[in-house]
Amino acid sequence: MKRIETFVALALLGAAAAAQANGAPRKDALNLSATAVQEVTRDTLGVVFSTTREGSDAATVQSQLKQALDAALAEARKIAKPGQVEVQTGNFSLYPRYAPKGGSISGWQGTAELVVEGKDTAAIAQLTGRIKTLSIARVGYSLSREAREKVEGEVVSQAIARYKARAADYARQFGFTGYQIGEVSVNTSEGGGPVPMAAPMMRMKAAGAMDEALPVEAGKEAVSVTVNGVVVMTK
């Protein structure tokens, strides 16, 4: 009789081990997630200036674009400062226009862009009133990598603390006295790029308003961290 009981016990242990190996759910394991969010004021302003020229001669159009871009660059370089205001050229393209009939080239059209972005938002806003050869095409605010990384450290701590508190509370409600952290992952939100301003803020230059600074408002961006994982509840 003793040999039969031993055999049955070993068989049950073997079945339990096989069930666990086959991915059968554990009754003491709990899937859990916790998220922490913090809003941060965006600290980087980006402005894209552009202009379009067209004409019958490609070289003439290209020359006009270059002159307009050179004049804007000269003005923008006056406020350029590493880490505060960065200046770079954007798209510079020249392409033919074709006649409706026959498909022959009827003229040329080109576009030039200048990109200015940085944390010195006041200087950039003033610059928009001094550049006369290009118009404002796009304006947007974003959160710098340094600011994001700084706040992410705080939000990670909040998310982990919330995860632990939730694990302890759920374990107690399920009749357990504690828990052990099993597999866990920490996921941080990525930046969504510059946020465009509303249409009224994105004005084209008009006569009599050439020296006006662009009105700007940074707004806020949410930085979130989510902790996902499995905890094993213990007696």
Per-residue pLDDT tens for 91-146? 999 999 998 877 788 899 999 999 999 999 999 999 999 999 999 999 999 999 99
**Is 87 a member of any domain?**
yes
Binned at pLDDT 50, 70 and 90, residue 18 comes out as very low
pLDDT in tens, 148-178: 988 999 999 999 999 999 999 999 999 999 9
pLDDT of 99 reads 85
Within a domain: residue 11? no
DSSP string, 172-221: HHTT-SEEEEEEEEEEEPPP--PEEPPGGGSPPP-TT-TTPPPP----EE
With a cut of 70, say whether residue 24 has pLDDT above it: no
Q: What is the CATH number of the domain that holds 118?
A: 3.30.70.2970
- The span from the CA of 121 to the CA of 193, in Å, is 17
Q: Would you say residue 16 lies in a domain?
A: no
Task: Indicate whether 177 and 219 sit together in one domain.
Answer: yes
Residue numbers of the domain that contains 164: 24-43+143-235
Q: Per residue in 181-221, pLDDT tens?
A: 988 999 988 655 555 543 333 444 443 444 667 777 778 89
The last residue of a domain, from among 86, 115, 142: 142
- Count up the domains in the chain and report the number: 2
Q: Do residue 100 and residue 110 come from a single domain?
A: yes
Q: Does one domain contain both 137 and 166?
A: no
Residue 186: its pLDDT value, please?
93
Tokens representing residue 141 in the block:
């605010």
Check residue 23 and give its pLDDT.
Answer: 58
> What is the rounded CA–CA span in Å between residue 51 and residue 47?
14
User: In this predicted structure, what is the pLDDT of residue 26?
Assistant: 72
Q: Would you place residue 224 in the very low, low, confident or very high pLDDT band (cuts 50, 70, 90)?
A: very high
Q: Is the pLDDT of residue 9 over 70?
A: no
Q: Is residue 179 part of a domain?
A: yes
- Is residue 73 in a domain? yes
Residues 87, 34 within the same domain: no
- The verdict on residue 133 lying in a domain is yes
**Mean pLDDT for the stretch of residues 4-27:** 42
Q: Which of 81, 114, 142 is the last residue of a domain?
A: 142
> Final residue of a domain: which of 142, 165, 184?
142
> Based on the domain organization, do 114 and 125 belong to the same domain?
yes
pLDDT of 10 higher than 60:
no
9, part of any domain = no
Q: Is pLDDT larger for residue 28 or for residue 61? A: 61
Strand order in the sheet with 195-196: 85-98, 105-118, 44-55, 135-142, 195-196
Do 138 and 160 belong to one domain?
A: no
Specify the pLDDT at position 211: 61
- List own/partner pairs for 90-93 with CB under 8 A and 24 or more apart: 90/48, 90/50, 90/114, 90/115, 91/50, 92/65
Is the pLDDT assigned to residue 6 strictly greater than 70? no
Whole-model pTM: value is 0.68
